[in-house]
């Protein structure tokens, strides 16, 4: 075996080891991210392990960004991204248990 081949093989071995180390690090960070998300949902009263499903539109936050200043009310509004209560879960963040639908309130 030539000196060049031996050098290439040791470089390949080192790269494979680094690849494994990085994949493990990615897995650990993804686990940590998922646990952090679950903790934030629990703070909002949404228990994913208990069978609750976070609202798909707001991710469980209960608020979301609207493309106009009228937010969930609709109609003519200014051209500004505006945060307000989510118009799918109405602030609960829970897909199955929405809070009061503000559009159904009498005007």
Of the candidate residues 58, 71, 85, 94, the single one contacting Zn ion (CB under 5 A): 58
Three-state DSSP at 42 gives helix
Nearer to Zn ion, 69 or 95 (CB): 95
Residues 22-51 that bind Zn ion (CB under 5 A): none
Neighbouring residues of 70: CB distance < 8 A, sequence distance ≥ 6: 76, 77
Of the candidate residues 55, 66, 71, 85, the single one contacting Zn ion (CB under 5 A): 55
Count other Cβ atoms within 10 Å, centred on residue 88. Answer: 17
Distance, C-alpha 21 to centroid of its chain:
25
Minimal distance, residue 39 CB to Zn ion, in Å: 19
Handedness of CA 22, 25, 29, 31 (dihedral sign): positive
Minimal distance, residue 95 CB to Zn ion, in Å: 8
Of the candidate residues 52, 71, 89, 94, the single one contacting Zn ion (CB under 5 A): 89
Residues in contact with Zn ion, total (CB under 5 A)? 6
C-alpha 62/C-alpha 50 separation (Å) is: 19
Of the candidate residues 40, 57, 84, 99, the single one contacting Zn ion (CB under 5 A): 57
Site residues, Zn ion (CB under 5 A): 55, 57-58, 86, 88-89
């Amino acid at each position: 075996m030539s000196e060049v081949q031996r050098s290439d093989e040791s470089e390949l071995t080192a790269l494979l080891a680094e690849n494994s180390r990085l994949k493990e690090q990615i897995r650990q960070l993804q686990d940590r991210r998922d646990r952090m998300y679950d903790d934030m949902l629990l703070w909002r009263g949404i228990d994913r392990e208990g069978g609750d499903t976070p609202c798909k539109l707001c991710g469980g936050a209960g608020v979301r960004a609207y493309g106009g200043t009228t937010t969930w009310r609709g109609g003519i509004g200014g051209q500004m991204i505006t945060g307000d209560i989510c118009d799918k879960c109405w602030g609960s963040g829970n897909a199955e248990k929405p809070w009061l639908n503000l559009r159904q309130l009498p005007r």
